[in-house]
Structure 1
Amino acid sequence: MKVLLNASKQPAVPTTLAITGSKSETNRLLLLQALYPNLKIKNTSASDDSKVLTKALTIKSGTVDVHHAGTAMRFLTAYFTALPGSEVVLTGSERMQQRPIGVLVDALRKLGGSISYVKKEGYPPLKISGKNLQKNVTTLRADVSSQFISALLLMAPALPNGLSLSLLGTITSKPYLDMTLDLLAALDVAYRFEGNSITISHKPTIQDTTIVVESDWSSASYFYSAVALSDSLEITLTSYKAESLQGDGALNKLYKSLGVSTRFNSENESITLFKNNSVVATTYKADLSNTPDIAQTIAVTCFGLGIGCHLTGLHTLKIKETDRLLALQLELRKLGATVDISEDSIQLEATSAILSDVAIKTYNDHRMAMAFAPLAFKTSLTILDAEVVSKSFPTFWEDLQKVGISVQKEA
């Protein structure tokens, strides 16, 4: 399916949208619920990734296919390794089999895990024989993906002797690590985080607990972009908190100089996005090492506003659903942008010219589709393979229409 996008001829009016629960929070809680069945979760994510993970957690033997779900691949690798009696082959899409996982496998093997590579050394598919892991000391490179760290921490309370984890190098995407630890703390799991060492205590049971998942801040980013690129759009999004576990909650600060202000409505836990007409003059600069998932959105916003940007801290984007830096460069150039990338940054030059009727490839990446969509306020464009948004935001195209963009779906 492809979608043809244009700015609606109808004037923009204040709109309220209900955004699905955070995929990051949901997936962590699903793992913890598998360990502690008396944990109840509300406002779970409706994403494909969370559905894949939910199904996978009911399996103990045979082939487990996570498709494009990178979080599920990392979390399930640790989960099945520490699940006595499990015998699985953990696999995914062609792209998933190109995404390295050796760092996590090595750490689990040091704990006594039985994991072998089915095809290429260091990459999925993995053959895993789960067992009761008695060892509790391991090390892990911290500069590759925070999901590797979270995978170990989430299964740690179920280990008979807990876990002592030493992290090597600079921790990447630290807010996601903090989220994991905060959710463990919500279940009264004892931990200590000092320097680059994390110790998690064994916890055999928890009290009956219900956790309500906050709505997804990454999904909110596309509406920040929409407000920035519109003339006078105002959008209210539910359910959000000023004090969020999600790193992408930094959006309210990052978008201030891109023309968008955020009003937190504490009574009903919502946020309202509105224009502030205060856009940085020439070049927008930001270190997104703690918020890499919103890099695509910000780059497209800057392009649509006619300003340059220099975004850094993006080394993890090379191993996502696609090489996101390369994909951004290719698709922005189609629209007339001058853009350069390095291993961890993107540099966009200011331009007032935006080409129209361009077809944007999504590369099996939900964030490519959604990041480019708000540009319809500035030019007509087509998003190819548009169904990819279901990975994290199944109702995205319907919600986009509600804020003033005409969405025409074609087979």
Structure 2
Amino acid sequence: MKVEIRPSVLRGSVAAPPSKSHVHRLLIAAALARGESRITGAAESEDILATVDCLGALGASVSVAGNAFSVHGCGGAPHAGGDILPCRESGSTLRFLIPVALAGGGGVFSGSERLIERGVGVYRDLLEPRGVSFAVGSGTVSAHGQLRAGDFEIPGGVSSQFISGMLFALPLVGGDSSITVIPPFESRAYVDMTVAALKCAGVTVERRGEREFFIPGGQEYRPISAEAEGDWSQAAFLYALGDGVNVTGLDSESLQGDRVCLSLLRRIANGYTEAELSDCPDLAPALFAAAAISGHGAHFCGTRRLAIKESRRADAMAEELAKFGARLTVGDDSVDVAPGDIRTPDSVLSSHGDHRIVMALAACAVRVGGVIDGAEAVRKSYPAFFSDMAALGADIRY
């Protein structure tokens, strides 16, 4: 789908979409409980529907009515049987649920080849020596064996989702376990979100120092009743649309690491030209766009993990922002945006199949115009993005 955005001045208030990170975690905790749970303030996106479908394959039942999810849990006994677990493009779904499936003997997951490629390496290294077998095919990965209690060392510089996946699963197995995070421990705020979701379901995880977790085994998840938070990572793209945009429904005390977005965007707009992104890599596209729009440029470090997102995000943003006249230099763990003004792009912009790149390019296009090809990628996380833009005054043509 191609979307043309003409120069517009946006003003008004818009409600932040529900936090995808929060809803994933609440759904999984509810699905592992015995009995009925209810999650309100949620919304359907492709990533959330992937988690819903996979939880159904593991024995839970999820129904949706408006903005509420009702979950009948599997009683702590996930079992895939012969069902495929369809992850679509959702890395969170795949990484969270591989250990959960292994608590019940394993399963076969499907998804895009890029998702499978970036989704399982840490688990193979961690669990194959413990008797779990992995087989990667074209768009599938099978993981079979029984997850057992033990002491686990997990690298903290690849994705915190591997840590979260083990935290969901280990309370279900017999025997106590520990997880030690090998430095650097990046995006730890999202591990804190997982621990909070577990606590909401009555599951205990003990923090022992900065990098160690103790997980008692044989625990029982309890049904939950919870409301989804607004999504700070998506709010970053709304704020990047212009100074006249106000985003409501956000919790300033949220555990979401991306809550730093507003302060970073303000600093970039005011000419502060350095930012560290290792704990908030999902903000990178919005911040790169903001640095180009500001004319000041900026230096970003901690960008190494952008290579394992839905696209090679730093390279993709460099390619697309160049069409606006911006110059980005991509290093192994840094990105530099050179000072200078943006202009109307000289060719059609590409989404690279990445929802966050679409939203970042939209922030530039609303200033100087542009056509984005593959704009349907926003359905992955924020299906209402363009309708929300239009409600704020954007001139959008489909």
Give me the TM-score of the superposition, normalised by structure 2.
0.88
Give the letter for the 2:261 counterpart.
Answer: L
Q: Which moved more, 1:213-222 or 1:351-360?
A: 351-360
Query: Which deviations, in whole Å up to 9, do the C-alpha atoms of 1:85-110 show, x marking residues without a partner?
Result: x5x32121122133152212332345
Structure 2 residue aligned with 1:2: 2
Give the superposition deviation at 1:192. Answer: 2.1
Gaps of 5+ in 1: 260-278
* Correspondence for 1:118 among 136, 139, 157: 136
Q: Is the 8 A contact 1:221 1:297 kept in 2?
A: yes
Q: Does 1:23 align with 2:23?
A: no
Cα distance in 1 between the residues matched to 2:347 and 2:365: 11
Q: Is the 8 A contact 2:7 2:395 kept in 1?
A: yes
Structure 2 residue aligned with 1:331: 320
Give the superposition deviation at 1:337. Answer: 1.4
Matches for 1:195-344 after TM superposition, within 5 Å: 195-202=210-217, 204-228=219-243, 233-237=244-248, 239-259=249-269, 279-280=270-271, 284-344=273-333
Give me the TM-score of the superposition, normalised by structure 1.
0.85
Q: Is the 8 A contact 2:348 2:373 kept in 1?
A: yes
CA distance 1:100–1:57, change in 2 (3 Å)? closer
Q: Is the 8 A contact 1:189 1:200 kept in 2?
A: no
Cα distance in 2 between the residues matched to 1:304 and 1:66: 35
Q: What is the alpha-carbon root mean square deviation over aligned residues?
A: 2.0
Q: Which moved more, 1:32-41 or 1:166-175?
A: 32-41
Q: Which moved more, 1:388-397 or 1:61-70?
A: 61-70
Give the superposition deviation at 1:45. Answer: 3.8
Give the superposition deviation at 1:143. Answer: 1.2
Cα distance in 1 between the residues matched to 2:86 and 2:383: 20
Q: Does 1:64 align with 2:82?
A: no
Structure 1 residue aligned with 2:334: 345
Give the superposition deviation at 1:116. Answer: 1.8
SS at the partner of 1:89? strand
Q: Is the 8 A contact 1:7 1:404 kept in 2?
A: no
Cα distance in 2 between the residues matched to 1:94 and 1:329: 24
SS at the partner of 1:164? strand
Q: Is the 8 A contact 2:235 2:247 kept in 1?
A: no
SS at the partner of 1:226? coil
Moved beyond 3 Å, runs of 4+? 355-358
CA distance 1:151–1:392, change in 2 (3 Å)? same
CA distance 1:337–1:215, change in 2 (3 Å)? same
Cα distance in 2 between the residues matched to 1:130 and 1:358: 50
Query: Which deviations, in whole Å up to 9, do the C-alpha atoms of 1:179-220 show, x marking residues without a partner?
Result: 112222233322222232211123533444311110111111
- Identity within the alignment, %: 29
Give the superposition deviation at 1:358. Answer: 3.5
Structure 1 residue aligned with 2:68: none
Q: Is the 8 A contact 1:222 1:370 kept in 2?
A: yes
Give the letter for the 1:93 counterpart.
Answer: S
Query: Which deviations, in whole Å up to 9, do the C-alpha atoms of 1:264-311 show, x marking residues without a partner?
Result: xxxxxxxxxxxxxxx22xx52100111110111011011112111111
Give the superposition deviation at 1:40. Answer: 2.5
Cα distance in 2 between the residues matched to 1:338 and 1:12: 26
Cα distance in 2 between the residues matched to 1:30 and 1:160: 23
Structure 2 residue aligned with 1:96: 115
Cα distance in 1 between the residues matched to 2:95 and 2:30: 17
Structure 2 residue aligned with 1:81: 102
Q: Is the 8 A contact 1:318 1:324 kept in 2?
A: yes
* Correspondence for 2:31 among 11, 31, 34: 34
Q: Does 1:383 align with 2:372?
A: yes
Q: Is the 8 A contact 1:358 1:380 kept in 2?
A: no
Cα distance in 2 between the residues matched to 1:377 and 1:391: 21
Q: Which moved more, 1:192-201 or 1:45-54?
A: 192-201
SS at the partner of 1:394? coil
- Count, aligned residues: 373
Q: Is the 8 A contact 1:150 1:180 kept in 2?
A: yes
CA distance 1:12–1:53, change in 2 (3 Å)? closer
SS at the partner of 2:175? coil
Query: Which deviations, in whole Å up to 9, do the C-alpha atoms of 1:312-349 show, x marking residues without a partner?
Result: 11111100111101101111112211210112211011
SS at the partner of 2:113? coil
Q: Is the 8 A contact 2:203 2:220 kept in 1?
A: no
